[in-house]
Structures are given as structure tokens and as C-alpha cells.
Structure 1
Amino acid sequence: MRAFRPAVVLLSLLLASCAAPQVRPPGALRKVVVVVGSRVDSLPSFTYRQDMMGEGNPRSVLVSQAQATLQERGFEVVGTRISAAPAPSINEVVEMIRDNDAEAGVVVVLNWVDVTSAQMMGRTEVLMETGVVGPNGRLRWSNPTRTTSMIGVYQAQTDLRSYLRKAVVEAIQAIP
């Protein structure tokens, strides 16, 4: 019987960490689309896997992390788009909103990344803009963010994209 106690404790901790996503308050935005752009063409990659698998593409990191974070916050993400332009146009966002019958579009644009001291000191800086656009094309909310992340040495050597995921989470958490 005593051998099962650690397993029961571990199982209860696991179930608690898999809690349901937050519920949006009445009247708040719920159904959104995500449109991302990037002025940074590629993230620095230091491994063969990152080079061959295309993991240095910041747009794929932006769209997947934005979608996951919005869903954790209780938003229903009904569509995503990676813009070919450095910053998505208002028309592109409005078209995406209308095509998916969404209430608004969440726009994330990566402007600048500095990883020069990532492998030595574990410090990175990310500058991005986040906005919410209504179906009429009006900007409902906007927030430029500058995130300074500290990442571990091992993480800096194996998964340099983690700092970008942290920056996206911080930017999305600010959306009302």
C-alpha cells in the first residue's frame, strides 16, 4: 500500500496542473482569429535540427504560442494566419475575421530580437506589438512590449526559441 502513495500524490498533482482554461467574463471578446507577422526573417539557430527542420522561423512560433495562450485564457481561436508581409494589413485581418465569423482579430508582430548574449549570459530581448482589431477595421487595443528574458544555459544551447515563446505569452496576457 505504501508504494502506491507517491503515485497517488503524483497523479493528483498532474490532474491539478491540467485545470480547465479560464472562462471569459460576460460581454468580453471570445471568438477571435490570430494573424501574425514578423520583421525578423529568421531566428538565430545553433543546431542542425533547427536549420533542417526550419525551427528558426519566428512566424510559426508566434502563431502556435499565441493560439495556445489565447485558448488558455478562455478565447475561442477560430482561425490563424501567417502574413507574408512583415506586418499584416488591416484588410487582411478584417478579411480573416469575416471569413471565420469572429468577433475580432488578434495581431502579433515581431519587430526585433537580440540574442547576442543568450548563450553566454542567458539574456534575450524581444520587441513586439500586439493589437486587437474589430470587424470594422478599427483598432480596439494596442500594446508594444519589450521583453527581457533570462533563459538557462542548457536551454540557450538546445531551444533558443523558448525566449520568443515567453515574450508571446507576456504580450498575450496583456490583452483585455
Structure 2
Amino acid sequence: MRVLRPAAVLLCLLLTSCAARQVRPPGALRKVVVVVGSRVDALPTYTYRQDMLGEGNPRSVLVSQAQATLGERGFEVVGTRISASPSPTIQEVVAMIQDNEAEAGVVVVLNWVDVTSAQLMGRAEVLLETGVVGPSGKLRWSNSTRTVSMIGMYQAQTDLRSYLRKAVVEAIQAIP
């Protein structure tokens, strides 16, 4: 049996954390804006911190995680917007694309969240719609994803939003 030294483990972790961003293929979309909406007004919160600091707002989680994941995939995110309506309008997305001189808009809408069994079984379900809208307002691509996340008991009590971040990553990874 081979035993890894702490320095070797640290080096492996350092190399994986410093991995290069993905590079978009020639001709693929690069410069995008992110527009999010949510039919869920507030995430269920179970901690004092989440209740008092308002960390149960799904829109802020959607926009920050979508921006981070798109950046990791090689997209240049030139603007973000949180829509006041449950689902952003085409005109809202097109205006955002034009204002930021982007090639397209990535739209993420949270349709449904079920965390009723998160505290007992560590299971959360999220239904997201993701789409890519061109500057003319034409829908280039769309996808509906249902993510079932298994979260640990500690995580369910301290950071229940992790299941939503996982669902956004999964939905953004599907964008061509």
C-alpha cells in the first residue's frame, strides 16, 4: 500500500484548483449577458443567518452561480440582470444584449424547488429552465433540467442553497 505524503496531496489539490479555464471553440458564442428570473420568491431557510440576512433570495444565487459557471466554461460575461418578473421578457433580454454589445443572452429561470426532505433525507429537487437568446430576440437554444441533489446533514443545516448552486452548474454545463 502506498502512502501519500501531505506535500503530495497539497500539490495535487493546488494543481486542480489552478486548472485553466475552458476555451470556447472558434465560431462559438463568447460574449454573453446573464438574465435570471424566478417563480420561487424565497428559498426555505432554516438558519438564523439566512433568515436575518435575507440569504433565501434565489435570484442572487442564480445570477452569481450562472456568471461563475459561464466564466469557467470560457464565456465572457459582460453584464448580469435580475428580472423583477418571474420570467424575463424577450424585450428585456434583447435590451440587455444591445446595451452590453453581447452576442447573446443566457436566461436562467427557477421554476420549482422541493426541499421538504432535505432536513431528514438530505434530498432536494430543483427545476430550472435555461435558454440562449440571440440579439434579434430569436431563441437559439433551450433546456429544462430537473436536478436531484443529495446534501449532507451539516450542509442542510448551514447552507441549504448548495443544492441550487449545483442545479445551476448542471444547467449551464448543458449550454452548447
Q: Deviations over 1:75-130 (max 9, x none)?
A: 00000000000000000000000000000000000000000000100011111100
- Residue 159 of structure 2 is matched in structure 1 by 159
SS at 1:145 equivalent: strand
Q: 2-side partners of 1:70 and 1:143: how far apart?
A: 16
- Residue 62 of structure 1 is matched in structure 2 by 62
Q: 2-side partners of 1:70 and 1:43: how far apart?
A: 23
- Residue 134 of structure 1 is matched in structure 2 by 134
- Residue 123 of structure 1 is matched in structure 2 by 123
The TM-score with structure 1 as length reference comes to 0.95
Task: Report the CA distance between 1:8 and its aligned residue.
Answer: 6.1
Task: Report the CA distance between 1:147 and its aligned residue.
Answer: 0.8
What percent of counterpart residues are identical? 86
Task: Mark the runs of 5 or more structure 1 residues left unpaired by the alignment.
Answer: none
Q: 2-side partners of 1:89 and 1:28: how far apart?
A: 24
Q: Determine if the alignment matches structure 1 residue 76 to structure 2 residue 76.
A: yes
Count of residue correspondences: 172
- Residue 172 of structure 1 is matched in structure 2 by 172
Q: 1-side partners of 2:50 and 2:6: how far apart?
A: 38
Task: Report the CA distance between 1:54 and its aligned residue.
Answer: 1.0
Q: 1-side partners of 2:64 and 2:94: how far apart?
A: 20
Task: Report the CA distance between 1:7 and its aligned residue.
Answer: 3.5
